[in-house]
Chain A
Amino acid sequence: MTQQIAILSGKGGAGKTSITASIIKMMESVVAVDADVNASNMPILLPHTQQSTTPYFGMDIAQVKHDSCTGCGACLNACQFDAISQNEAGRILIDSDCEGCAACAFACPENAISMVERKGGDWYVSTVDNGYLIHADLIPGEDNSGKLITKIRSEASALAKQQDIAYIVIDGPPGTSCQAISSVTGVNLVLAVVEESLSGLSDYRRLAELVQKFSIPHYVLINKAGFSVEVEKSIIQAAAEFDGKIIGRIPFDREIPTALQELQSLAEMDNYRGVIAELLEQMTSSLNH
């Protein structure tokens, strides 16, 4: 049975990706998933070899057959997203705000609107030293639907099963919207990376609420710590409130961003390798007891 760990933070820049990559590098075998599909950074930090590329199609987009269109404007009234306009010559234009609902196609008395595929990006399967990395690139500006995240996660599950790999580790997106949900549904454990700041604390609270809703146990790693005892105390209190267990603490240390510039993770740093190993040990033993 594959176990899934998702690493999230609520706040962006809390250290999700660097922590995730560090953990992954220290695992025996793993299927890694970069679920931050519209700012995908794990491939930068994790040496990998791309094996396959698959196009991703998001929601369809409306397309007008201008030969059949009489310019009656029924579609303009049907569209709730202001995605349709009519120019001076009476020509109907669909813009990129189209959410693909197909209301216009239904409303058109001439059947002049059809729904066509719209490419939203690509997803990739790559090999890494100790397993696989599944990642994706959303075309900038496209709808960041949870659909693509769900897709790459199901690919990861299939791959883990097929290759008999025990763990899937997911690098989640920032925020607490549907993309975060798509990244946590069905996971066994969440690791919340919480930046020691008021913003980090506030976003952690939103994340913890979401994780609690899904009844997923979670651990808390305090990151960039050491400046404010008060903020740190508040994080510890918030974690207790949401049943999060504090699993570790990484100080604010310029050596870490310096190493990241050279694409070195914490797993390659003598001072931090032990912390990551301990983190990993605690997480896997809690999953297997």
Chain B
Amino acid sequence: MIISVVSGKGGAGKTTLAASIAQIFEAEFYDLDVDAPNAEYYLQPHFSSKVPITQPVPVFSAERCDGCGICTKECRFHALYKILNTVYLTEPLCHGCGLCKMVCPQQAISYQDSSVGDIRSGHSRRTNNTVHVGDLVIGSTRGTYLISEMVKKIDPEKLSVIDGPPGNSCAAVAAIKPADLVVLVVEPTPFGFHDMQQTEQIVQQMGKKYLIIANKAMGDAEVDKFFRDKEKTAALTITLEDRYHKANLQGEILSQQFCEIYAGLRQVVSQELINR
């Protein structure tokens, strides 16, 4: 059973609510916001392992390469370039597709593993379970790859919570793909609503079961206004309150600090778990 928490807009409260859900249900946790991972500030795991994630990238044999440049022309990611008769790789652009090796008439290219990031894992006393955090090499294009590699490690038999990346690109899709239940966090502002609807479109296209939680709401009237013409409304509304904000910015888990959040989240999520 995998629960993915996504929002479209950044800062809507994905990590806040994902950490709370994991705390309530003592779930295993995967921080897949790999280029800005923050869940560890809430979950405070005691990291005990760090596993490098690699992808194969081309290396060129100086003896064999005659500088014909076919590989640089064929590479669709513009990751290869040639100066005089030497071919160079811009590694952050390489997708590891293997085409350069296939097209090289001199068999001068082989593939070697190179790091795209790490997965740190450790036990959290706050969730009483394991937390895995993906750290993408800064500036890398391979975020979606790192997410997919992390997803492969999830045991679907166990209850796991995924903290997804912001946005609505393929990285978000990769974080939604394994989910049995998607929690869409919406900040009820014109921005938040706009971005959430794009995410909702992805979730619907993928045929995923989902629920919407409105977070940082100014009041019920605002939330109602946004959902007026929609088929699905927010299952739970969490208001914008100074005490929540303060606890949050100091790395407290809201469900641990505030019983109304504990009770509210527990109810709406477990209802979906039972209805499966």
| Residues in A lying within 8 Å of B, measured CB to CB | 10-14, 17, 36, 38-39, 41, 44-45, 59-60, 78, 80-81, 99-103, 106-107, 115, 138, 140-146, 173-178, 180-181, 195-200, 202-203, 206, 209-210, 213, 224, 227-228, 231, 252, 254, 257-258, 260-261, 263
Contacts and interface: CB of A to CB of B under 8 A. Distances in A.
**Is chain A's binding surface mostly helix, strand, loop or mixed?**
loop
B222 A261 contact: yes
Given A101-B97, A141-B173, A14 B11 contact: yes
Given A10-B36, A59-B76, A141-B170, A39 B138 contact: no
Nearest to B196: A39
Given A12-B9, A106-B102, A206-B138, A175 B190 contact: no
Interface string B122-153: 00000000000000101111011000000000
Contacts of B77: 101
Given A60-B76, A101-B97, A180 B10 contact: no
B47 interface: no
Interface stretch (B160-168, B230-238, B266-274): B160-168
A102 B99 contact: yes
A173 B10 CA distance: 9
A17 B143 CA distance: 23
A13 B103 contact: no
B276 interface: no
Given A101-B95, A228-B246, A202 B190 contact: no
Contact of B76 (A101, A197, A263): A101
Contact of B36 (A59, A103, A141, A175): A175
A124 B234 CA distance: 32
28 contacts: A12-B166, A13-B10, A41-B190, A41-B194, A44-B190, A78-B102, A101-B97, A102-B74, A103-B97, A138-B168, A140-B199, A140-B202, A141-B172, A144-B170, A144-B171, A175-B165, A176-B139, A177-B139, A177-B143, A181-B139, A198-B250, A199-B15, A202-B38, A210-B138, A213-B138, A254-B240, A257-B189, A257-B218
Given A140-B201, A175-B35, A257-B189, A101 B99 contact: yes
Contacts of A213: 138-139
Interface of B: 8-12, 15, 33, 35-36, 38, 41, 74, 76-77, 92, 95-99, 102-103, 136, 138-141, 143-144, 165-173, 187, 189-191, 194-195, 198-199, 201-202, 205, 216, 218, 222, 240, 242, 245-246, 248-251
B99 A178 contact: no
Given A10-B36, A80-B98, A138-B169, 8 more contacts: A14-B11, A102-B99, A175-B165, A175-B166, A177-B139, A227-B246, A227-B249, A260-B191
A228 B250 contact: yes
A108 to B, nearest CB: 11
Given A12-B10, A141-B169, A176 B36 contact: yes
Given A146-B141, A261-B189, A263-B190, A13 B102 contact: no
A228 B245 CA distance: 11
Contacts of A210: 138-139
B240 A39 contact: no
Contact of A202 (B41, B136, B143, B205): B41
Give the interface centre of A115, A140, A263 by most chain B CB atoms within 10 Å.
Answer: A140
A143 B10 contact: no
Nearest to B167: A38
Contact of B191 (A41, A100, A203, A252): A41
Contact of B35 (A36, A143, A177, A261): A177
A203 B249 CA distance: 13
Give the interface centre of B170, B171, B199 by most chain A CB atoms within 10 Å.
Answer: B170
Contacts of A174: 10-11, 36, 166-167
Given A140-B168, A180-B139, A209-B138, A199 B194 contact: no
A246 to B, nearest CB: 18
Contacts of B35: 175-177, 180, 206
Contact of B98 (A10, A78, A206, A263): A78
B249 A231 contact: yes
A151 B189 CA distance: 29
Give the interface centre of B8, B11, B199, B205 by most chain A CB atoms within 10 Å.
Answer: B11
Nearest to A197: B249
Given A102-B76, A213-B139, A206 B36 contact: yes
B131 to A, nearest CB: 15
Contact of B190 (A60, A80, A81, A261): A261
